């Protein structure tokens, strides 16, 4: 039953996509309650329902035509040629390659918005890294908010998570979010959509707090069930469901990817704003030009590369920390390339 409810949620999301509506779903809960598991599970169900794979070139994408007969009914068969090799030898996706859709920071989210094909899911694990209200003035956060506001034509589906829903930047929370999934206890969740009336708080959070009340890690399932009965009276709550367990092989792969990213972040240099990075780049080009030029001459194509920019131009002259990494430089240059055509 829980699987069916989540599938119904996925179908509703698809209906919104096909009607040119944005889909941004925010999952919140206490640590360890399964926020990441939920976004992986919902992304998996979405791809197994609407994903296609070319049996000739192995390209994977999401069906871009009308897949629904109504708000809650899927066509029995849908098919389209491979957009990459034009082959007609197509089948439904049978295994979810979640790493293709998982993102961990601003740069990865932007890359996937630009690079993934229309109707793709994007799964930013831990929206706290780019959606926090306290980061509203950062240039990266501003750029990503603008991109979120303009990406409707790609019909993307974004599922992300954050420990506290109120931590979200107000633009994401009040203007962009189309769903809020609040996990009450491991495996137990309520689904909310915003009040589209003229309300100062489209989620009626104060009323949600009153209905939910106070509880802790040891609160029994029976007691949570009683709270759910109250929550179902909330104007924004429209469903309650149990979250099925993510398949073991996918979850194991996710843990490896998560730990790898965590260690990368621990080994990262101190975060620095782009204005300071530009100042350091100007200093290095004025004072270390001969070294930079020598590295360019030694390069295979005898021209500046992202690696040279990373190692020579954006290196802190005081302690040799790399202020801007290769991936970020790649994102920056892609963004400017799109602007200039």
Strand partners, 103: 124
> What is the pLDDT at residue 6?
92
> What is the pLDDT at residue 47?
96
| pLDDT higher than threshold 70 for residue 269 | no
> What is the pLDDT at residue 340?
76
| pLDDT higher than threshold 80 for residue 154 | yes
| pLDDT tens digits along 281-332 | 999 999 999 999 988 988 877 889 888 898 899 988 888 888 887 777 887 8
> What is the pLDDT at residue 270?
44
> What count of other Cβ atoms lies within 10 Å of the Cβ of residue 59?
16
| pLDDT tens digits along 64-100 | 999 999 888 999 889 999 999 999 999 999 988 888 9
| pLDDT higher than threshold 60 for residue 272 | no
| pLDDT tens digits along 114-125 | 889 999 999 998
What residue spans define the domains of the chain? Answer: 2-266, 274-340
| pLDDT tens digits along 17-58 | 999 998 999 999 998 899 999 999 999 999 999 999 999 999
């Amino acid at each position: 039953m829980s699987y069916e409810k989540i599938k119904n949620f996925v179908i509703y999301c698809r209906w919104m996509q096909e009607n040119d509506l944005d889909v941004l779903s925010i999952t919140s809960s206490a640590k360890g309650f399964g926020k990441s598991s939920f976004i992986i599970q919902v992304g998996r169900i979405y791809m197994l329902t609407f994903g296609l794979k070319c049996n000739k070139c192995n390209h994977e994408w999401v069906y871009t035509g009308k897949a629904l007969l109504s708000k809650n009914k899927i066509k029995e068969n849908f098919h389209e040629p491979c957009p990459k090799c034009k082959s007609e030898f197509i089948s439904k996706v049978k295994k979810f390659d979640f790493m293709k859709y998982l993102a961990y920071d601003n740069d990865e989210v932007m890359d996937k918005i630009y690079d993934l094909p229309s109707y793709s899911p994007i799964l930013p694990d831990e929206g706290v890294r780019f959606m926090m209200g306290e980061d509203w003035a950062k240039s990266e956060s501003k750029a990503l908010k603008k991109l979120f506001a303009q990406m409707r034509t790609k019909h993307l589906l974004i599922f992300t998570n954050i420990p506290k829903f109120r931590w979200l930047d107000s633009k994401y929370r009040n203007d962009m979010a189309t769903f809020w999934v609040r996990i009450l206890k491991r495996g137990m969740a309520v689904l909310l959509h915003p009040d589209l009336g003229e309300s100062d708080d489209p989620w009626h959070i104060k009323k949600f707090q009153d209905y939910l009340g106070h509880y802790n890690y040891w609160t029994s399932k029976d007691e949570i069930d009683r709270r759910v009965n109250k929550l179902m009276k909330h104007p924004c709550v429209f469903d309650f469901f149990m979250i099925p367990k993510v398949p073991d092989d996918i979850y194991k792969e996710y843990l490896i990817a998560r730990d790898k990213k965590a260690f990368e972040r621990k080994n990262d240099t101190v975060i620095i704003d782009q204005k300071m990075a530009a100042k350091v780049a100007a200093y290095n080009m004025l004072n270390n030009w001969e070294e930079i030029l020598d590295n360019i001459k030694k390069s295979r194509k005898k021209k500046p590369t992202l690696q040279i920019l990373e190692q020579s131009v954006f290196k802190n002259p005081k302690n040799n920390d790399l202020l801007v990494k290769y991936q970020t430089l790649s994102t920056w240059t892609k963004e400017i390339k799109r602007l200039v055509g």
